[in-house]
Amino acid sequence: MESSERRGAISLGTLRRAAEALDCTLVYALVPNKPLEETVTVRARAIAADQLRRVNHTMRLEAQDVEADTMQEELDWLTGDILNGNLGRLWD
């Protein structure tokens, strides 16, 4: 078990058996490095930026591109719209 652990190859089954032998409960968890709110906001902003890039590209082809200040306002608005909508679509 120790050599598997050193290699980073220990299995959940092995950990479960060790926990049972020690009369313990195995807890397997992922712990975020950043607050959840920050992670969700960063993801929503990335989705909004991608959508705006595609729209602005099309508008630029038609000589209707948007100024940087307006793009920033649109990015902020779209990010908020995404955050106020169905958050399940953030990781589609």
Question: The tokens of 10 are what?
Answer: 């220990």
CA 23 to chain centre: 36
Confidence of residue 71 (pLDDT cuts 50, 70, 90): confident
Tell me the pLDDT band of 7, cut-offs 50, 70 and 90.
Answer: confident
Mean pLDDT of 50-59: 86
CA angle (40, 73, 53) in 5-degree steps: 70
Are 11 and 26 spatial neighbours (Cβ–Cβ below 8 Å)? no
Instruction: Say what the pTM is.
Output: 0.62
Comparing C-alpha atoms, which of 48, 51, 53, 52 is closest to residue 79?
48
